[in-house]
Amino acid sequence: MKRISFSILLLTVLLQGAQAAVDENFYIFLCFGQSNMEGAARPEAEDIKSPGPRFLLMPAVDDPQRGRKMGQWCEASAPLCRPNTGLTPADWFGRSMIETLPPHIRVGVIHVAIGGIRIEGFMPDRIAEYVKTAPGWMKGMLEAYGNNPYERLVTLARKAQQDGVIKGVLMHQGESNTGDPEWADKVQQVYDRLLGDLQLKPEEVPLLAGEVVQAGGEGQCIAMNRQIDELPKTLHTAQVVSSTGCTNLPDKLHFDAAGYRELGRRYGEKMLSLLGYQVRSPFTVPADARTAETTIPGNDFPKVDSERRAYFRVNAPDAHRVQVDICGKKYDMRRDEHGVWCAVTDPLQVGFHYYFLNIGGMNAVDPATETFFGCNRQAGGIEIAEGPEGDYYRPHPDVPQGQVRSLYYYAQSTREWRHAMVYTPACYEQGKHRYPVLYLQHGMGEDETGWSRQGRMQHIMDNLIAQRKAVPMIVVMESGDVKAPPRPGDHRQGFSTYGASFYQVMHHDLIPTIDRKFRTLKDRDHRAMAGLSWGGHQTFDMVLRHPELFSYMGTFSGAIFGLDVKTAYDGIFTRPDDFNRQIHYLFMSCGSEELPRFQTDKTAETLRQAGIRVDLQISEGTDHEWLTWRRGLSQFVPHLFRK
């Protein structure tokens, strides 16, 4: 009696141990069908790279090339079906699932599919006869599954149930049964048998059936979509996944890679909604989204919602892939049935962002947004609005507005016509008063319009002057000869020649032109220079080589690298008394998120140790970006021309 009780106790412990091994947060999905589930499009780089250990595959066949063993979980990446197959909807189903599901939830798929197979090939009572009559080209595929694809799917599913919980069935099949009036009944037989063999409840394990290729109404088997759409009338737990707008290969039978990605995402969104998760779709824009202030009037998009997510739309019906590239982070856009591509971003930082639309591998400017020169070319831009803290760079109706003028002038030193932007304060139009001048430079890859367009310089100046925090002054912005990227040879012998052609222009042409065309105070005590990034480098080079021209200087995220205080600029930093007498104010700033890359804090500390007076400001929470430089300008200007 005691021996029997011990046996019962041991069995109970073993059963409890087995149950404990099942991870309720491991969601498993069974995928079956014919060629479009098998995958007919060649996987691309983004499909081959694994998304990580949260998306797993239990291979249904061995794949020695990738080190995969049948029945053993591995990270999921294309191809999921068999060696030498292609991209399938299951690939981006899994990827979209883990994007939305909480981080502690994993997703696993078991994938059995055979190109051209009829639904009868998954019916246990018909498979033997089906194998006998299968065409020759299909026999090798059937043999890969032991001539019984249904049995292979069930066998692996039972094994997977030891690890996780089966949450759904994904099917893409029907092309080979087009016109078969009994197709829906046969699908239900397969589904019911599958649930019975795995002891699953239909209300807990829905079947998702995808539509076939539409090809704008010219799909080879498009008539089958009516039967697929009516499947829920027969199988009440079935859900239909639309293929409308999913792009296809020239055969009008199979999806292309972009089409599989989109269809897979739709499978994922459908399943996520059934699991009770709120899906963020680029096609659904929340009511609180507002058109971005950088959008060209008359366009609705880009928009920005209350969470600072940006929504983009572009009409490109013939494109096969479109992305939004925001400062190097790429978001895949999704195509609707009308050929309109849509995307939604992660929450973006407040401030100004350059962006491009990548269409077929080429970066283009969004036709719905204002353009800004940046990244060495015309670029799109989107402003993510700050709250009231950004009022210092916004225009206000009660503040007198200055002007930003476009000035073309001839530079004798380089024998060329050049362009500059010149800000004059609101009071410039009144009387004959003369004004001090700030020469303000942009950074690498930008141009003379940057400070007035991306930087909002004129509004910053207007507001500071109106509040009597800054004296009225003229601000001059030139191209700086750094619109194009550096070339080989621009850096040599410890001195950078990048943008150095600007120095003689500034000395011999720009300053004399400004003094001739505008009412300026022409002495060094009323002349300042500042710049962002490489413009900060130019400021150091220009001011410290020509102290007879300037008495104020500033850098915002200045590209001041490897400064040797003992030798730089003829050793001027070794004579701190002379420096501090000549330079009335030296300002340096950067964003907290760009440290230590730009080492502004270390450079400032090195200068201080050498006895140089320098004012250092750190913009909290910002990087190498226009918000950092707007803040820097607003902190720098109040110190100018007070001596």
Active site residues: 35, 251, 254
Q: Tokens representing 14?
A: 């073993």
* DSSP helix/strand/coil, 187: helix
Contact between 547 and 582 under an 8 Å Cβ cutoff? The reply is yes
Residue whose C-alpha is closest to residue 588's, from 605, 572, 609: 605
Q: Tokens representing 632?
A: 């820097």
Please give the C-alpha separations between residue 55 and each of 39, 74, 160, 512, in angstroms, as whole numbers: 18, 9, 14, 66
Preceding omega of 596 cis (within 30 degrees of 0):
yes
Residue with the two structure tokens 């739309």: 313
- How many CB atoms sit inside 10 A of residue 44's CB? 14
Contact between 62 and 70 under an 8 Å Cβ cutoff? The reply is yes
The HSE-up count of residue 595 (CA atoms within 13 Å, CB side) is: 18
Please give the C-alpha separations between residue 498 and each of 65, 316, 530, 599, in angstroms, as whole numbers: 49, 39, 17, 20
Q: 303 has which bridge partners? A: 291, 311
Contact between 33 and 81 under an 8 Å Cβ cutoff? The reply is no
Preceding omega of 547 cis (within 30 degrees of 0):
no
Residue whose C-alpha is closest to residue 625's, from 486, 483, 462, 454: 454
Residue whose C-alpha is closest to residue 54's, from 83, 79, 78, 25: 25
Q: 384 has which bridge partners? A: 351
Residue 24, phi then psi, degrees to nearest 5: -65, -15
321-348 core/surface letters (b: 16 or more CB in 10 A; e: else): bbbbbbeeeebbbbbeeeebbbbbbeeb
d(CA 416, CA 393): 34
How long a stretch of residues is the chain?
643
- How many CB atoms sit inside 10 A of residue 468's CB? 8
Q: 380 has which bridge partners? A: 355, 371
Helices (H) and strands (E) in the chain, counts: 20, 28
Residue whose C-alpha is closest to residue 411's, from 495, 501, 526: 501
Q: Quote the Cα angle for 510-553-574, to 5°.
A: 120
* DSSP helix/strand/coil, 239: strand
